[in-house]
């Protein structure tokens, strides 16, 4: 019976006649036997196997280089070596797949930049392997969080005809021939002849459809891929990323912030509990101080300030920012990071933003200048959550849609929600990769997703 390396390493007793399989990290030859370090991806640590040169299959050892795949049968025995309870004493050895000396992941340090050039192999490194294990655990923790609270997991379309954020950062989905599209009378591409009979795009957010489902199921969440043709080449923007979007009926901005903060805290705790080995690795090799910061976040309540208070704090800071601070402008990354890293030194939720800086669907506050929006900012990353209470009043919503230049007819399905049993409701989007950056200390979004898509790179 094959057991995984992670199970072997925590075994409570010696075991005989078991099978292990994996990829060779290193091999060291001694007199009469070899040490072979095996990793099978189940955990960060390797299992050390001792392969006697007289064993069946041992004659292939000369061909066993870093990266080769091997299968061994043998016994799990107490290890005399420091730092490991168990080692594996092989009774048979099999070289499954050779790797020659050109294998790029030889035992030495590799820069993240180099590793990005070999995305098909880099998951075999300690660093990306650990990130992908954390990613898997946190994805399940997201579901646990919402399922425990009675939210329904819904699937909103990936292909859509609407632009939720109104920023025009859409990837077009078309089957028209780009070189010779069918044309309308004015000579432009004729979208009526396109696959869906109209223009369609990859979704920038499942929110609008999510709202329709929340007005039926009460509390819902989505967790899926999201696409933005946003030409920002930063360490925090990807063209394809995963977003978690809850939507809650009978909920206001305060309730929305409560859930967002509880989710972020829940995920940090889950990572501390379920990925202790990986986080210790990141703390040691990627971001010193990570563990201490995460423990604080797991325990301490987050700060909350209104946008107006945040602007006052920034103005009073005496800092000279690259982008000047001015009421009415969106906060820039440098402003967000000053608030969370320098001023509050903890995650902070900023709420009630000027309406000019935000999309059409946010609920207008009584001051007629701000909307019930919120962003959750964390040290090292900045914004990881963006959300709002939605405008549930039909007249206000239609006025805002007109102001934003939306075609009311095309969004009649959305305004129907306000015609038939409208309710106060709210939701937010948590960027999954940004959450992973926060939890691993990775500084670049390209290193928390297996196949990053960014401008110029697919
Ligand atoms: O603030 P955003 O644009 O909000 C929305 O899309 C709302 N419709 C969400 C909602 O209320 N249901 O995006 C939400 C979050 C951001 O805070 C950020 O974490 C992440 O999505 N995000 C990105 N992550 C990686 N790359 C990008 N290009 C991102 N754009 C947004
Ligand atoms: Mg945002």
| Ligand 1 atom closest to Cα of residue 245 | 12
| Ligand 1 atom closest to Cα of residue 435 | 19
Spatial separation of the C-alpha atoms in residues 63 and 311, rounded to whole Å: 64
Spatial separation of the C-alpha atoms in residues 123 and 102, rounded to whole Å: 17
Q: Which residues contact 352 (CB under 8 A, 6 or more apart)?
A: 253, 306, 307, 308, 365, 370, 371, 372, 373, 374
Using the mean position of ligand 2's atoms as its centre, give its distance from the Cα of residue 430 in Å: 9
Q: Which residues contact 121 (CB under 8 A, 6 or more apart)?
A: 104, 105
Average pLDDT over residues 189-203: 95
Any residues with Cβ below 6 Å from ligand 1, and which? 164-165, 205, 207, 228, 230, 237-238, 241, 243, 245, 383-388, 427-429, 431, 433-434
For residue 240, pLDDT over 90 is answered with yes
| Ligand 1 atom closest to Cα of residue 167 | 3
Spatial separation of the C-alpha atoms in residues 45 and 106, rounded to whole Å: 17
pLDDT tens profile 331-368: 999 999 999 999 999 999 999 999 998 999 999 999 99
For residue 127, pLDDT over 90 is answered with yes
* Closest ligand (CA of 240): 1
In the chain, % of residues over pLDDT 70:
100
Q: What is the mean pLDDT of the chain?
A: 96
Give the torsion sign (CA, 78, 84, 85, 91): negative
CB 374 within 8 A of CB 253: yes
Using the mean position of ligand 2's atoms as its centre, give its distance from the Cα of residue 130 in Å: 28
For residue 279, pLDDT over 90 is answered with yes
pLDDT tens profile 292-317: 999 999 999 999 999 999 999 999 99
> What does pTM read for this prediction?
0.97
Tell the residue nearest (CA) to atom 21 of ligand 1: 431
Task: Quote the tokens at residue 380.
Answer: 């090292």
In which element (H, E) is residue 9 found? helix 5-9
| Ligand 1 atom closest to Cα of residue 427 | 11
Spatial separation of the C-alpha atoms in residues 353 and 335, rounded to whole Å: 14
CA end-to-end span of the chain, whole Å?
40
For residue 90, pLDDT over 90 is answered with yes
Tell the residue nearest (CA) to atom 25 of ligand 1: 237
Q: Which of 97-101, 165-169, 300-304 has the lowest mean pLDDT?
A: 165-169
Task: Quote the tokens at residue 256.
Answer: 């929305």
Using the mean position of ligand 2's atoms as its centre, give its distance from the Cα of residue 58 in Å: 58
């Amino acid at each position: 019976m094959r057991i995984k390396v992670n199970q072997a390493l925590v075994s409570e007793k010696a075991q005989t006649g078991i099978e292990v399989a994996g990829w060779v990290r290193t091999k060291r030859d001694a007199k009469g036997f070899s040490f072979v370090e095996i990793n099978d991806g189940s955990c960060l640590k390797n299992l050390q196997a001792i392969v006697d040169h007289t064993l069946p299959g041992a004659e292939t050892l000369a061909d066993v280089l870093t990266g080769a795949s091997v299968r061994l049968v043998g016994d799990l025995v107490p290890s005399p070596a420091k730092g490991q309870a168990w080692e594996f004493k092989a009774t048979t050895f099999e070289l499954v797949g050779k790797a020659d000396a050109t294998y790029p992941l030889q035992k030495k340090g590799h820069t993240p930049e180099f590793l990005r050039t070999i995305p098909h192999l880099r998951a075999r490194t300690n660093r990306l392997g650990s990130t992908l294990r954390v990613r898997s655990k946190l994805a399940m923790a997201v579901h646990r969080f919402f399922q425990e609270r009675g939210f329904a997991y819904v699937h909103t379309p990936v292909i859509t005809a609407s632009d939720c954020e109104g920023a025009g950062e859409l990837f077009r989905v078309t089957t028209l021939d780009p070189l010779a599209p069918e044309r309308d009378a004015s000579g432009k591409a004729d979208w009526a002849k396109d696959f869906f009979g109209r223009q369609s795009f990859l979704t920038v957010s499942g929110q609008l459809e999510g709202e329709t489902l929340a007005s039926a199921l009460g509390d819902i969440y989505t967790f899926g891929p999201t696409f933005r043709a946003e030409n920002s080449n930063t360490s925090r923007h990807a063209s394809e990323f995963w977003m978690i979007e809850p939507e809650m009926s009978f909920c206001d901005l305060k309730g929305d912030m409560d859930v967002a903060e509880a989710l972020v805290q829940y995920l940090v705790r889950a990572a501390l509990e379920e990925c202790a080995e990986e986080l210790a690795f990141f703390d040691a090799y990627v971001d010193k101080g990570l563990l201490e910061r995460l423990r604080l976040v797991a325990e301490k309540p987050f700060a909350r300030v209104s946008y107006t208070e945040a602007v006052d704090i920034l103005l009073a800071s005496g800092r000279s920012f690259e982008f000047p601070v001015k009421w009415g402008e969106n906060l820039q990354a440098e402003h967000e990071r000053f608030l969370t890293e320098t001023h509050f030194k903890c995650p902070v939720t900023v709420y009630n933003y000027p309406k000019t800086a935000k999309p059409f669907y946010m609920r207008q506050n009584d001051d007629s200048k701000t909307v019930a929006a919120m962003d959750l900012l964390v040290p090292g990353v900045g914004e990881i959550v963006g959300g709002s209470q939605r405008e549930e009043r039909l007249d206000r919503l239609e006025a805002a849609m007109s102001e934003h230049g939306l075609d009311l007819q095309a969004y009649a399905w959305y305004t129907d929600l306000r015609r038939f049993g409208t309710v106060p409701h709210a939701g937010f989007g948590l960027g999954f990769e940004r959450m992973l950056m926060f939890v691993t200390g990775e500084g670049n979004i390209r290193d928390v997703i297996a196949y990053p898509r960014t401008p110029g790179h697919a």
